[in-house]
Structure 1
Amino acid sequence: MASFDILKILTNGPIIPAARTIEVYKAALTHTIVPSVVLLFGDINSLPTLISLAKENKKRIILHLDLFDGIGKDKAGIRFLARLGIGAIITTKSHLCKLARDEGMIVIQRLFLMDSDSLRTGLGLVRNFKPDAIEILPGSVPASVVQELIHETGLPIFAGGLIRTQEDVQHAIERGISVVTTSRQELWDAIMINKH
């Protein structure tokens, strides 16, 4: 899928809300204009309810597989998620990226960029399996690193972690980040339904 298409499907602005609790999840579903929410919590028992809430609010779940409990991190687990209606995932694990792609999911590969070695390793992972987008952590990486990722991969770059203010969001976008994922509700102003 083309980069533009991925962004158009997942977002309509600079921020995608991320939820670590049911309360924050409900707020993201009901009070934001973004078509997607990153799910950073949950388990197999709560998933049907979480999916139902998303459908009621016409939102897409981007499931963070590494933080989700009770699903086997294997082909059967990924197939089960796809059949339940999960259409997009985030993971650090390349084998899960491949399995999710086989099930027709949008795949966002998360990379932790702590130093030049982790950047080199991350680029190698992305070259071996080209995801639909990359999410980098922390979101405050230097502009030169963001530009290298864009140049080397041609993929949209999502950023999360250590983005605490509206200025941090703006700086991320100025550095070439396509979208910021954040659980900080105070940063959701730009995507709220009833802005003041």
Structure 2
Amino acid sequence: MDFQTKVLAGGKIGAAIRRLEDIEEAIRHPKIKTIFLLNGDINKLPSIVNRVNKAGKIILVHIDLIEGIGKDAAGVHLLKRMGVAGIVTTKSNLVKFAKEEGLFVIQRLFIVDSESVKTGIRVASNIKPSAVEVLPATVPAYVVSEIKKALNIPILGGGLLKTRKDVEEALAKGIDFVSTSRRDLWEI
């Protein structure tokens, strides 16, 4: 199954979970199909992954932010064995390991200036992730357009989304999917 069918699942919003107490609400939420885990540790991860999978939802783990997981091939293999669908990372070397394990990979790109756009495109062109996530999601439309044209993969947006209007504007710019920790925006 491809990234758009399985991870994006026809939706536009994913739940970004920073506080573990929010995981249950994301699991129960009828509009949330994809959960991005942005916090936690190796000890709690197996039960979280199990609960998300049992609910028929997709979980992607931001490997850079989870404590106790090696940021190496063994750590990625462990995540695969636990049942995660994919990883989010800023580290290019982890993309290779995740792809070898058959996991989806979202390469996070922090867009702070025109050089970071060029660098992000160059890096993603070389490592070929399943998708890229631009942060913040409030980047100008021309940035989204440049990245889409250069990479021809889904673009996710995260960060600095506070209102429904912010989400609508991000999607109108061409961002395919947004992740947010704001529960009130999960309804969109």
TM over 0.5: yes
Match of 2:67 in 1: 69
Structure 2 Cα separation of the partners of residues 127 and 189 of structure 1: 34
- Secondary structure of the 2:79 match is helix
Match of 1:9 in 2: 6
Residue from 164, 184, 187 that aligns with 1:186: 184
How many pairs does the alignment contain? 187
The alpha carbon displacement at 1:34 in A equals: 2.9
Listed as ranges, the matches of 1:37-186 within 5 Å are 37-186=35-184
AA aligned opposite 2:120: G
Structure 1 Cα separation of the partners of residues 126 and 76 of structure 2: 20
Structure 1 Cα separation of the partners of residues 20 and 125 of structure 2: 36
TM-score normalised per structure 1: 0.92
Structure 2 Cα separation of the partners of residues 48 and 130 of structure 1: 28
After the TM superposition, which segments of 4 or more aligned residues of structure 1 sit over 4 Å from their partners? none
The 8 Å contact of residues 18 and 25 in structure 1, kept in 2 or not, is answered as: no
The alpha carbon displacement at 1:56 in A equals: 2.5
How large is the Cα RMSD of the aligned pairs?
A: 1.1
AA aligned opposite 1:144: Y
Q: Deviation digits for residues 65-95 of structure 1, max 9, x if unmatched?
A: 1111101111111111111111211100000
The 8 Å contact of residues 105 and 130 in structure 2, kept in 1 or not, is answered as: yes
- Secondary structure of the 2:35 match is strand
The 8 Å contact of residues 9 and 35 in structure 1, kept in 2 or not, is answered as: no
Q: Deviation digits for residues 87-137 of structure 1, max 9, x if unmatched?
A: 211100000011100000001100000001111111111111111100000
Greater shift after overlay, 97-106 or 57-66?
57-66
The alpha carbon displacement at 1:16 in A equals: 0.7
Structure 2 Cα separation of the partners of residues 73 and 160 of structure 1: 22
AA aligned opposite 1:40: L
AA aligned opposite 1:94: S
AA aligned opposite 1:28: A
* 5+ long unaligned stretches in structure 2: none
Residue from 22, 25, 29 that aligns with 2:23: 25
Q: Deviation digits for residues 5-27 of structure 1, max 9, x if unmatched?
A: 31221133211111111221110
* 5+ long unaligned stretches in structure 1: 191-196
Greater shift after overlay, 55-64 or 139-148?
55-64
